[in-house]
Amino acid sequence: MKTEKATFAAGCFWGVEAAFRQIKGVKSTQVGYMGGSMKNPTYEDVCTDRTGHAEAVEVTFDPKKVSYEKLLDVFWNNHDPTQMNRQGPDTGTQYRSVIFYRNSKQKTAAEKSKLQLQKSLKYKNRKIATEIIQATDFYRAEEYHQQYLEKKGLSTCRM
């Protein structure tokens, strides 16, 4: 079986990871940090809002069972992409909305889906703030963050 990877940031990574783990065809997930300048950041580093990293989820999936476009739908439907550097009560650049593309096919699909969502007027006149940028080094978060909600017996962390 050939797998692919996709990486998304949509606020606190606990809830984002839980949403993707429910999708048939997703083989594994891991939470971590991407998009910043510091090598090997810790959670404490990222929380200073000075490293430039976003809390991100790396999704390993079987493209024969789930399309990248389906993963984009999950991404768009599990956060408010019009909020700049925040989701719900969480604020800071680490909570920004980002699609980290890994190849030109993912970039094109991400741009197309963002444009379609903006044109749909789902968010009325609010502009979608989601960034679409090339994936950089992914730094796996500390073990206690991995599958956090499952470990706590929770299904969501939404307010």
**Catalytic site positions:** 12
Structure tokens at 123: 């968010």
Q: Report how far residue 58's alpha carbon sits from residue 80's, in angstroms, rounded to the nearest whole number.
A: 19
With CA atoms as reference, report the closest residue to 98 among 133, 122, 125.
133
Q: Report how far residue 45's alpha carbon sits from residue 48's, in angstroms, rounded to the nearest whole number.
A: 6
The torsion region of residue 85 among left (phi > 0), alpha (psi -120 to 50) and beta comes to left
Q: Which distant-in-sequence residues (6+ apart) come within 8 Å of 139 by Cβ?
A: 32, 33, 34, 39, 40, 41, 53
Task: Name the residue with tokens 């980290």.
Answer: 100
Amino acid at site 106:
Q
